[in-house]
Chain A
Amino acid sequence: MRFSGMRLLREALRGHTGWGPMWRDPDPDPAYDIVIVGGGGHGLATAFYLASVYGQRRVAVLEKGWLGGGNIGRNTTIIRSNYLLPGNQPFYEFSMKLWEGLEQTLNFNAMVSQRGVLNLFHTDAQRDAYRRRGNAMHLTGAGGRLLDRDAVRAMAPFLNFDAARFPIKGGLWQPRGGTARHDGVAWGYARAADRLGVDIIQNCAVTGFRIEGGAVRGVDTTRGYIAAGKVGVAVAGNTSRVMALAGMRLPIESHVLQAFVTEGLKPVIPGVITFGAGHFYVSQSDKGGLVFGGDIDGYNSYAQRGNLPVVEDVIEGGMALMPMIGRARLLRSWGGVMDMSMDGSPIIDRTDVGGLYLNAGWCYGGFKATPASGHAFAHLLATGDPHPTAAAYRLDRFARGHVIDEKGVGAQPNLH
C-alpha cells in the first residue's frame, strides 16, 4: 500500500476501511543473511538501506520490546549538522542530506521540519569558537550564519538578552536544521523496510551469540535460535550488556538523560534554540508543546528515569534563557538510557569476532544521525568496508589514540 493524495481521497470516500497494518508481524525464519539486533531508529534504518541500497533480501531485525520503544521515541527530535571535527561533520551533513529527502524515500510523513537551529553565544571567546565551527560547517556545505545580537533579537525577542551574568551576544544559526517526528521516523523506516521483505520480529530478545572458530554463526533468542551470516548490533543503551554476551568490554558507559514537554501553546518559538552558558535546548512541537532537555544525570544508569536535581538544573537553564517558560506548565518528563562513549563520538565498525558488527556510542546525539547511521552501517555490513563518511568511527581508535572528542574533556563519559 502506497500513501498518496489519491489514496487518501479514495479511503476518505470508503470510510477509511482500506488501510491495512503498516508492517507484517512474522515469525522468525531459521536463518538469515544478516540479522540486526535492535529495532530502534538505527536498526530499522540499517535494515531499510540494506534492502534498498545494497540489495540484501534476507534481513531480519530483532527487537526485545516493541518497535521504536527505546530512544527513538524518547529524544527531543532535533536534527542538525553543526559539528566541528573532520571525523564528525561530513557524517552529520550526510545525515542532514538524507533527512531532506527522507519522506520521499520512505513514502511516509516523518514531519521533517527545517525550522532552523540557533546556538547562542554569550562571550567573545564563545563567538570565536562558533565562528570556527561555522567555517567547519561551510567546508561540508552544511550552511550556517553567524548572527549578531540584533539579528537574534529579531528572531527570538523573548530571550533574556540583558541578563547580567550571561548576556546574549549572538548566535550560530543553521537554517537547514530543525526537528522531525521521532516516532514517525521509526514507523517510516519499519514500513519501508518491511515492504522490501525485511522481517521485523518484535518481542524477541537476544540471549546469546553462537561463535565458532572466531566467527559468529547466529544468535540465541527468546524465540529460538536464528542462524545468521552476519550480525549487526544497534542497541544504544544496552550495548555493553549485549556485547558482553559475545565476551567484549567496550569504551561505553550507560547514562540516563531526561527530557521534558509542556502543555500545548500557541506558536512561540521559531526553531530550535540552545543556551550557550548552560546546557539547555528547546523547540516547539507541531502539537504546541515546548520540548526541552539538558544534561545527563551523570551516573551510570539503566533506569529510564532520572532524579530531581537534574530536573531543577534543566529548568534553571530554561528560566535563565527565556524567563517566559516559567509560565508554561510541565506536562511530562521521561528518561532514556544513553550509550555514552569515552570520547563522545559513535562507533560503527567490525569487531574481533568475524561477522559481528557494532553500531553504538551515540551518547545523546543519536536521533539526528539515524539516516546516516543506518546507511553507513548497512554499507559496512554489505561490503565489509566502512562508509567514507563514517571511516573515523573505529572501535580501536581509543587504543590508537585517535579519539574524536568534540568537547575535549577526555575519557569521562558523564562530561560529554
Chain B
Amino acid sequence: MLIPHPLLGPRDAQEFTYLGDASLLARPDGMAEHAEDAFSDHVYLRDNPAGVHRELWFHEQGDRSWLVVTRDTVTHEILGAELARDVVRGGRP
C-alpha cells in the first residue's frame, strides 16, 4: 500500500505504524459528567466498518507526523491522506 503523504508524496505503508480509528482524535473531556463511561467507550469501542474507514497512521520511519488516512477496508484502496493536526484544527476528527 502506498500512502499519499500530503508533504512527502507517495510513501510505502511499511514506513508507518498503525493506530486505528481516527475518532481517537476526539478525546473525551475528563472533567465532564460521566467521564468514566466516555473514556471507557473511547478506549475500547470501535465502529470497525467494512468499507471506507478513516484511520491514524504514524510516519515513524519518515517525518514522524500523524496522518489521517481514508482507506477502504474491503479493497485496501487508499482514498486520501491528510495531516492529523490539520484535521484537529479543522475541528472534524
Q: Do A and B come from one complex?
A: yes
Q: Which residues of A contact B (CB under 8 A)?
A: 238, 240-241, 244, 249-254, 298-303, 307, 309, 342, 398-399, 411-414
Q: How large is the interface on B (under 10, 10 to 19, 20 to 34, 35 or more residues)?
A: 20 to 34
Interface core residue of B46, B48, B71 (most chain A CB under 10 Å): B48
* Contact indicator A299/B55 (Cβ below 8 Å): yes
Q: Provided the pairs A399-B40, A411-B43 are in contact, do residues A300 and B75 lie with their beta carbons within 8 angstroms?
A: no
Chain B residue numbers with a CB within 8 Å of A240 are 46-49
* Contact indicator A300/B74 (Cβ below 8 Å): no
* Contact indicator B55/A300 (Cβ below 8 Å): yes
**Which listed residue, A249, A298, A302, touches B47 by the CB 8 Å rule?**
A249
Interface residues of A: mostly helix, strand, loop or mixed?
Answer: mixed
* Contact indicator B44/A302 (Cβ below 8 Å): no
Chain B residue numbers with a CB within 8 Å of A414 are 18, 20
- Indicate if B92 sits at the interface (CB-CB under 8 A): no
Beta-carbon contacts under 8 Å, B22-71 to A: 37, 40-41, 43-50, 53, 55, 71
Chain B residue numbers with a CB within 8 Å of A412 are 19-20
Q: For the complex, give the distance between the alpha carbons of A412 and B49 in Å.
A: 17
**Which listed residue, B13, B40, B43, B48, touches A250 by the CB 8 Å rule?**
B48
Chain B residue numbers with a CB within 8 Å of A300 are 20-21, 48, 53, 55, 73
- Indicate if B8 sits at the interface (CB-CB under 8 A): no
Chain B residue with Cβ nearest A309? B14
In the A-B complex, the 7 residue pairs with the closest CB atoms: A240-B48, A398-B44, A302-B50, A251-B44, A399-B40, A249-B45, A299-B18
- Indicate if B7 sits at the interface (CB-CB under 8 A): no
**Which listed residue, B18, B45, B75, touches A251 by the CB 8 Å rule?**
B45
**Which listed residue, B14, B20, B43, B74, touches A303 by the CB 8 Å rule?**
B74
Chain A residue with Cβ nearest B55? A300
* Contact indicator A254/B1 (Cβ below 8 Å): no
Q: Provided the pairs A301-B73, A302-B73, A303-B74 are in contact, do residues A254 and B48 lie with their beta carbons within 8 angstroms?
A: yes
Chain A residue numbers with a CB within 8 Å of B71 are 299
Q: Provided the pairs A241-B50, A299-B18, A309-B14 are in contact, do residues A254 and B45 lie with their beta carbons within 8 angstroms?
A: no
Chain A residue numbers with a CB within 8 Å of B89 are none
Q: For the complex, give the distance between the alpha carbons of A398 and B42 in Å.
A: 11
Q: Provided the pairs A249-B45, A251-B44, A411-B44 are in contact, do residues A298 and B18 lie with their beta carbons within 8 angstroms?
A: yes
New A-B contacts (4) at CB < 8 Å, excluding given A300-B48, A300-B73: A240-B47, A251-B44, A252-B46, A254-B48
Chain B residue numbers with a CB within 8 Å of A411 are 43-44
* Contact indicator B76/A303 (Cβ below 8 Å): yes
Chain B residue with Cβ nearest A249? B45
Q: For the complex, give the distance between the alpha carbons of A302 and B51 in Å.
A: 8
**Which listed residue, A244, A249, A253, touches B20 by the CB 8 Å rule?**
A253
A336 to chain B, nearest CB (A): 14
Q: For the complex, give the distance between the alpha carbons of A299 and B78 in Å.
A: 12
* Contact indicator A398/B46 (Cβ below 8 Å): no
* Contact indicator A302/B40 (Cβ below 8 Å): no
Q: For the complex, give the distance between the alpha carbons of A412 and B19 in Å.
A: 8
Chain B residue with Cβ nearest A302? B50
B53 to chain A, nearest CB (A): 6
A303 to chain B, nearest CB (A): 6
Q: For the complex, give the distance between the alpha carbons of A403 and B50 in Å.
A: 26
Chain A residue numbers with a CB within 8 Å of B43 are 342, 398, 411
Q: List 21 A-B contacts (CB under 8 A).
A: A240-B49, A244-B47, A249-B41, A249-B45, A249-B46, A249-B47, A250-B45, A251-B45, A253-B20, A253-B21, A299-B13, A300-B48, A301-B73, A301-B76, A302-B74, A303-B74, A307-B76, A309-B13, A398-B44, A399-B37, A411-B44
